[in-house]
Structure 1
Amino acid sequence: MFGTVRTLWALMVVFGHLFWLSDFGRFAVFGFYTLSGYLMTYVMHNSYGYNASGRKRFALNRFLRLYPPYWFACLISFVLLLVFATQMPRGGFSTIALPNNMLSVFGNITMVFAHWIPHSITPRLSPAAWALTVELFFYVAICLGISKTFKRTIIWLSLSLLFIGFSYAANLYWHARYFSIPAGSLPFSIGALIYFIVKLEKIPQGLQCLLTRPALILISMVSISAIVAWLIPQGINPALVELMFYLNMLVSALLVLSLAMGNSISNKISKGFDKFVGDFSYPIYLLHYQVSMLASVLLLGEVSKFKDAFNLGALVLVCLGLIAISLLVIKCIDEPVEKIRNAIRHNTNKPSPSTKATLN
């Protein structure tokens, strides 16, 4: 059931970036991180192992999953820049611009935006790619063994909490607790911990009843996100916003835990359909700005965000455009590459006890 949830989180990001509920997507990003922490720890333990061969196969598989669709998204942005370059800044898309030096070229090719707050680096041909820099950092950390054992994961989680505490003590702006690489450490470490909670059957007794109802957890997560995002422009206390943000992160973690335990959001959603829906999440995330630009030209006659011009027509056109371009990515890029990924994933047996991580 992870696929449906991934795409829902991607759509929350789309709605927050493009339409009037600006902070809606903020609550989804840490859900992505938590799920990634769980899944990457899971595959390192169960598919690859921690020997040199396993690490190489993990790295190659991640490369093939992330980069071909990303480069396609950058290509689309490049074409749009050639056509609409003068309209980008005034249309609210100033982040999308041609790289102006070698470091910028490197960042836009590799998704490695070299700053502890990657969001601060511009231009970005795929604006949401700052979060992929955070993802890549923790993919490397997990590959190197930061979540190889339960004890390491607890230490990692503790250090993550220390950073959050330090950020408040040092009076850092909330950007440091959201956009930065260290900020991503907390949800990633929670996701890794979820792997061990399920593996060791350390599920708290008091949560077991709730965890059998992932649909209820999902509704709670979306509701908290929507209500707080709506209240932010009304002047809600920033401290309360941050409190609700971390509460929502924990609700997202409960959702990941529930699904990792094998619970289903709905028995009407088959595994095949869940995977089909989940395949849309990454292209939606990479390409929603580009699709919105094209939709605004068709509806408004110029490149513009729909923040102040939200209507049903804009929503439908953006959604249809995202479905169409995502299908193109899935059929022409993801599916051919997936055959290579499967070959890499299965070219050796599962990790042997000597190379597989222990639970100590």
Structure 2
Amino acid sequence: MFGYYRIFLSLCVVFQHLCQMPGNNFSGWYAVFSFYILSGYLMTFVLNENYGFHWDGLRRYFTNRTLRIYPTLWAVILFSLPFVAYLPISDFHRNIYLPTSAYDWLRNLTLIDLRIPNPRLIPPTWSLFVEVVFYIAIGLIFARKKWITFLWFFASVAFTAYLVYSGADKEYRYFSIPASSVAFSSGAILYYLRKIQIPGWFTPAIIAAHALNLLYWHLVPEGRFLEGFYLNVVLSAALIFSLSKLRPTAIDKVAGDLAYPVFLCHWIIAALINYYFEINKGATLFIISIPPVLLFSFILHAQVEKKTNAIRDRVKNQTFQPAQSQSSSYPNRLPDLPA
């Protein structure tokens, strides 16, 4: 039951990008690492339960990941291009402008090497590049054996401890691929822990702790970012572990379907509102942007994702049988997510 959580995380990203506020606002940073944890869990789960690690299974896994990420990405880029070309969108976000070289076009269309350097037609897609790297690494290496997954996790924790001890800046701890490993590996080990039973009070308690952590560390002075950031990894992993035991509802699925389009389209929608209505970044822009962002996301899902989902369902046949019988409560098609 990840749909509500995914749309909440997407809106946290939107909130950080559009709502300037006094003090700290790292809600999007926290949310992106939570997405990474969810990705680590889901990719490890689906590889072991649905695809397997033989050649045909990996082919289907990588095909479906490609179909999930790129069609919606390209649709948002296509929608954005005329506005980026003819309106001063870069005044709203300095990274949004037309690529000037073939390599920059390639990076934006394929996500290959799409990190922080400009231009980025869709600014948050740098995190999709991180996701793609770990999709590949998890499929080829990290999800193959339990001991490999746990070794990866402990190595990632050790590297994170080194970053903290050495005083690495927070940008490196957030944007870099090596620093993101602790989030993906934290999610991956949840697959092997998922049969552990939890009491009924655990889920509401973790939700409350997660919310308090998100709120509290955004009110304290800057310089206390790291405590909440890494505590967020622990709490997000615990929440994902808890939510994995709940059956999704129809509304939960609808909410989850909108998460990725919201993640992709909010910048261009907000930029258009800013240009035509002269509303600057702040609470007003955030609130006014939500309805058109959700509407456009619904259109993207209906016109693009539903069609690609039908193809993905055909690709993901049920020929693979896991070595051990597992719970059948998990949905037949893997819930999708943004990074």
TM-score, length-scaled by structure 2: 0.89
2:16–2:28 CA contact under 8 A, matched in 1: yes
Matching residue of 2:330: none
Q: How many residues align?
A: 322
1:155-234 aligned within 5 A: 155-199=151-195, 201=196, 208-209=198-199, 212-231=201-220
User: Is 2:230 the counterpart of 1:246?
Assistant: yes
User: Is 2:237 the counterpart of 1:259?
Assistant: no
| Separation (CA, whole Å) in 1 of partners of 2:204 and 2:269 | 30
TM-superposed deviation, 1:275:
0.6
User: Paired residue for 2:300, among 329, 338, 352?
Assistant: 329
User: Is 2:143 the counterpart of 1:140?
Assistant: no
Matching residue of 1:276: 254
Matching residue of 1:68: 71
TM-superposed deviation, 1:212:
4.4
| Separation (CA, whole Å) in 2 of partners of 1:305 and 1:57 | 44
| Separation (CA, whole Å) in 1 of partners of 2:263 and 2:211 | 18
Task: Using the aligned pairs only, state the percent identity.
Answer: 30
Secondary structure (helix, strand or coil) at the match of 1:94 reads coil
| Separation (CA, whole Å) in 1 of partners of 2:112 and 2:265 | 18
| Separation (CA, whole Å) in 2 of partners of 1:191 and 1:352 | 20
1:292–1:305 CA contact under 8 A, matched in 2: no
User: Is 2:47 the counterpart of 1:44?
Assistant: yes
2:41–2:188 CA contact under 8 A, matched in 1: yes
TM-superposed deviation, 1:65:
0.5
User: Paired residue for 1:127, among 123, 126, 130?
Assistant: 123
Structure 1 residues 129 and 305, CA gap change in structure 2 (3 angstroms): farther
Matching residue of 2:281: 306
Matching residue of 2:111: 111
Structure 1 residues 89 and 315, CA gap change in structure 2 (3 angstroms): closer
| Separation (CA, whole Å) in 2 of partners of 1:23 and 1:61 | 31
User: Is 2:90 the counterpart of 1:89?
Assistant: yes
| Separation (CA, whole Å) in 1 of partners of 2:65 and 2:254 | 19
Which has the larger displacement, 167-176 or 289-298? 167-176
CA RMSD of aligned residues (A): 2.0
Matching residue of 1:267: none
Matching residue of 2:20: 20
Structure 1 residues 212 and 95, CA gap change in structure 2 (3 angstroms): same
AA paired with 2:281?
F
| Separation (CA, whole Å) in 2 of partners of 1:193 and 1:162 | 16
1:334-353 aligned within 5 A: 334-346=305-317, 348-351=318-321, 353=323
TM-score, length-scaled by structure 1: 0.84
User: Paired residue for 2:82, among 59, 79, 82?
Assistant: 79
| Separation (CA, whole Å) in 1 of partners of 2:204 and 2:74 | 35
TM-superposed deviation, 1:316:
3.8
| Separation (CA, whole Å) in 2 of partners of 1:182 and 1:352 | 30
TM-superposed deviation, 1:230:
3.4
2:190–2:241 CA contact under 8 A, matched in 1: yes
Any idea what the Cα deviations from partners look like across 1:268-293, whole Å, max 9, x if unmatched? Answer: xx621111110000000001101101
TM-superposed deviation, 1:187:
0.8
AA paired with 1:257?
F
TM-superposed deviation, 1:141:
0.7
Which has the larger displacement, 68-77 or 328-337? 68-77
AA paired with 1:113?
D
